[in-house]
Amino acid sequence: MKPQDYKILIVDDEIEYTVILKKILGLEGFSIQTASSAEEALFKLKLKQYDLVLTDLMMDGMNGIELLEKINIKIPETCVILMTAYATIDNAVEAMKKGADSYFVKGNDPEELVSEVLSLYQSKKRKSTQSGESEQQILIPFSKNKAFIKALEMAKKAARSNVNILLLGESGVGKEVFARYIHHESKRYDKSFVAVNCHALQENILESELFGHCKGAFTGADTNRIGRFELAHEGTLFLDEIADTPLSAQIKLLRVLDLKKIERMGSNASIDVDFRLITATNKNLQPLIDSGEFREDFYYRISSIVLEIPPLRKRPEDIQDLVMDFIERSSKEMGVPTCKVSEDVIEILKNYDFPGNIRELKNIVDRLVVFSDGDIIKPEDLPARFFDAKAAPKTLKEIRQMSEKEYIQKVLNENNNRMGISAGILGITRRQLTNKVKEYNLKNKE
């Protein structure tokens, strides 16, 4: 289990405090979500499995103790740390009696909380290893699209070498999935895969995050910290949103790639690092190079191999397989029966542009699994945006079929689903109507 696989939910009605905690714990590489109430937390816990919940004790509505009790009943494998601004022995004793894994006072040093979280993470990691579970389930990209297949084949060949790889593609196409796949297919597969989002970190934080720092290197540096370069030693370092890296950081990164050595902030000691670099961006780098915002020598250093991942709108042949795969995964995560999808839904999805690409499709499927009332997902279950001009039928045949479908359903509804009477009104035989009902997946009680 890698840090990014350890899922944390922070629950607090003080939004500013959740933002601070998310940043602090995010530096450790954990996957973090937030909720502003216990009620919202319970909803999110139904949709997704979390390893740890950090919850405030005093909140409007349901309090932290009540949330703890519900978690212990419904998902006892999830760890809970209770947080409060009002430290009393009674609170701490009650929290531990109710089954909390730890107790944190908000006014204390945040490093104490980080230490507790790291301890729980290490414990989960040891249990995972001892039980023989795989540390990382690799999601293998699949497609029937020729351009995607070509990119995947190139990725597999490139994985055998140590050359630096640049992944290009719109936001949400699955660049990190591609990067993990390359790591999995490489000789470094049994070592660390370390991911960093360059866009999410400010310049001074990015340098500390990558290089690490020594105690006293700057204000607030109270302990030594290992950077991502060292964590990725003998493994793979994935730098996402590389186009957002400041020029000063590009110069330092270029030096590391040339020398394979780093120095932690506040230290003059050189540390050898050996990692495979994969970078990614959703931007066109050439205009940035022309304007001087991105170094040309750095570009050539990171782009020994360039792989472009096509957007989902250019892969309509993959929609059905992706939807069914996501439904299976979401249903398993939520503990609900796997539902089917009508052909009409698939056709509507194929005609949609998907500006958010795979990520958007996955979120849509999660929503459909949660809110679908029946065994089959129907067009009316889709969000309203799917029925705009872009998602509308594009051919006369499609328009005719949709009109026919709507009219047949209207006649059935008006006649209480009586097939004989409805067939007479429509001017077709009962058998023909039965076939139409099956073809269009219409509601029929008979």
Tens of pLDDT, residues 45-104: 887 888 999 999 888 888 888 898 888 877 878 889 988 876 554 555 666 666 777 888
Helix axes 419-426, 396-414, angle to 10 degrees: 130
Could you give the CA distance from residue 54 to residue 61 in angstroms, rounded to a whole number?
Answer: 17
CATH superfamily of the domain spanning 3-130: Response regulator (3.40.50.2300)
Phi, psi of 306 (to 5 degrees): -115, 125
Class of domain 396-440: mainly alpha
Going by DSSP bridges, is the β-strand pair 193-197/236-240 parallel, antiparallel, or unpaired? parallel
For residue 220, what pLDDT is reported?
A: 66
Q: What pLDDT, on a 0 to 100 scale, did the predictor assign at position 137? A: 46
Question: What is the rounded distance in angstroms from the CA atom of residue 313 to the CA atom of residue 358?
Answer: 10
Instruction: Give the strand pairing for 340-341 and 79-84.
Output: unpaired
What count of residues does the chain have? Answer: 446
Distance (Å, rounded) from C-alpha 352 to C-alpha 405? 21
What superfamily in CATH does domain 146-310 come from?
A: P-loop containing nucleotide triphosphate hydrolases (3.40.50.300)
In whole angstroms, give the CA distance from residue 352 to residue 346. Answer: 10
User: Domain spans of the chain?
Assistant: 3-130, 146-310, 316-391, 396-440
3-state secondary structure the chain: CCHHHCEEEEECCCHHHHHHHHHHHHCCCCEEEEECCHHHHHHHHHHCCCCEEEEECCCCCCCHHHHHHHHHHHCCCCEEEEEECCCCHHHHHHHHHCCCCEEEECCCCHHHHHHHHHHHHHHHHHHHHHCCCCCCCCCCCCCCCHHHHHHHHHHHHHHCCCCCEEEECCCCCCHHHHHHHHHHHCCCCCCCEEEEEHHHCCHHHHHHHHHEECCCCCCCCCCCEECHHHHCCCCEEEEECHHHCCHHHHHHHHHHHHHCEECCECCCCCEECCCEEEEEECCCHHHHHHCCCCCHHHHHHHCCEEEECCCHHHCHHHHHHHHHHHHHHHHHHHCCCCCEECHHHHHHHHCCCCCCHHHHHHHHHHHHHHHCCCCEECHHHCCHHHHCHHHCCCCHHHHHHHHHHHHHHHHHHHCCCCHHHHHHHHCCCHHHHHHHHHHHCCCCCC
Interatomic CA distance for residues 234 and 93, integer angstroms: 45
233-264 pLDDT, tens digit per residue, is 999 999 999 999 999 899 999 999 999 999 98
Domains 316-391 and 396-440 share a fold: no
Regions of the chain short of the pLDDT cut 50:
89, 130-137, 389-393, 446
CA–CA separation, 234 and 217 (whole Å): 27
- State the architecture of 316-391 in CATH terms: Orthogonal Bundle (1.10)
Q: What pLDDT is attached to residue 397? A: 63
